[in-house]
Amino acid sequence: METEFTHIASVIGGMMIGAASIWLYLANGRIAGISGLVSRILPPVGNGVTVSVAFVAGLLLAAPLFALATGGLPQQTVSSNIGLLVVAELLVGFGSVFGSGCTSGHGVCGLGRLSPRSLVATLTFMATAFATVLVLRHGSGYFGLGA
């Protein structure tokens, strides 16, 4: 599966993520980790629920706003294998709890704060992502195990 990569959209998206992270931290003292923001919305409701709801609503509204602005959505491919999706979501949830945060909290905010714990977490999930792509795209043939 190939994906379209556009440099300009990626740079703009990265700058928007960085700006939102900085704004949330400076305005509310909160890290823009999605797992932490969502956990404040779920019972028992934590402090900062209004900011969390607004931030998560912004994430959910991004695609419809993009469609309104451009007249369409970018092409995306999602597996139709429900079992695979369920296992993937459980692993992501487990990883977020076990790693005390998610990719946005550690990778964007934690690295920006020069957190050693976030560096280890980011290296771990990036290495896992690289290995997953390698195995899924090249399969056993890449490892000399057959075609």
Is 80 inside any structural domain? Answer: yes
Handedness of CA 130, 131, 132, 133 (dihedral sign): positive
Is 2 inside any structural domain? Answer: no
- Answer yes or no: are the C-beta atoms of 62 and 70 closer than 8 Å: no
Nearest CA to 32 out of 110, 96, 118 is that of: 110
Handedness of CA 60, 65, 68, 70 (dihedral sign): negative
Is 22 inside any structural domain? Answer: yes
- List the pLDDT tens digit at each of the 147 positions of the chain: 455 678 888 899 889 888 988 888 888 888 888 888 888 888 887 777 888 898 889 889 988 998 999 998 877 778 888 988 898 888 888 888 787 888 888 888 888 888 999 999 899 989 988 888 888 777 756 555 544
Is 100 inside any structural domain? Answer: yes
**Number of folded domains that form the chain:** 1
Is 1 inside any structural domain? Answer: no
Instruction: Domain of residue 92: give its range.
Output: 7-142
The model carries a pTM of: 0.64
- Rounded CA-CA distance 18/2 in Å is 27
- Rounded CA-CA distance 53/39 in Å is 10
What's the confidence (pLDDT) of residue 127?
93
